[in-house]
Homo-oligomer: A and B are copies of this chain.
Amino acid sequence: MQTLLLTLDLVGTFVFALSGAIAGVKRRLDVFGVLVLSFAAGNAGGITRDLLIGATPPGAISDWRYLGVSVLAGAITFWWSSFVERAWNPVLVFDGAGLALFAVSGTEKALAYGLNPIMAALLGTLTGIGGGMVRDVLLAEIPTVLRSDLYAVAALAGAVVVVIGHTLHLPSAVVAAAGAILCFGLRFGAIHERWHLPIARPPKA
């Protein structure tokens, strides 16, 4: 079980790292810059969560495998970026899976550190979306998650399921699976059906 979770976590890191590397290649960074964006996109969410709950050093810093899969994703993208680009539609599916997993595992880790349920759900969401936010900030852009389709809400929904299950003392494997499936389903639906949140109408000044 522990091995399965670690594997899924590393797969999620890999896919998020791909998204960072692609963004870096498009902005014509050098190879080091692409690797930095890979690592940031894959790990910044989890690192921020760990800093906030006091789990230092963060898992992505103490365990070299997170760096390993991030560098692998960055290197593949750097040398075969057109291949990764063409494969991005299937990658979007993995990205949804990564989001689902990060949201669920991030929430569980926050609960394990004694945070109250509401903030644990928030930290789970942050685990899912933080990497992409740091990626965009490093590229001097407004994070796409702040104005895009149902990305953060999908993560939040999965996190809320975990929190509710935890509060009701339901078996955690079932709850984790339910949360991940809900998150993935919402994200998948958002891509296919173009679901999105209402956008603010700025006041007529």
Interface residues of chain A, those whose CB is within 8 Å of chain B, are 24-34, 36-37, 47, 51-54, 56-58, 61-62, 64, 67, 78, 81-82, 84-85, 113, 115-116, 118-119, 122-123, 133, 137-143, 145-148, 152-153, 196-205
Classify the interface of chain A: helix, strand, loop or mixed: helix
A78 and B147 alpha carbons, distance in the complex (Å): 13
A196 and B28 alpha carbons, distance in the complex (Å): 13
- A197 touching B145, Cβ below 8 Å: no
A199 and B31 alpha carbons, distance in the complex (Å): 6
- B119 touching A62, Cβ below 8 Å: yes
- A146 touching B203, Cβ below 8 Å: no
CB distance from A199 to the nearest CB of B (A): 5
CB distance from A194 to the nearest CB of B (A): 13
16 contacts between A and B (CB under 8 A): A27-B147, A30-B146, A30-B147, A30-B199, A30-B200, A31-B198, A31-B200, A33-B146, A47-B52, A51-B52, A52-B57, A57-B113, A81-B201, A81-B202, A81-B203, A138-B143
- B64 touching A119, Cβ below 8 Å: yes
- A138 touching B142, Cβ below 8 Å: yes
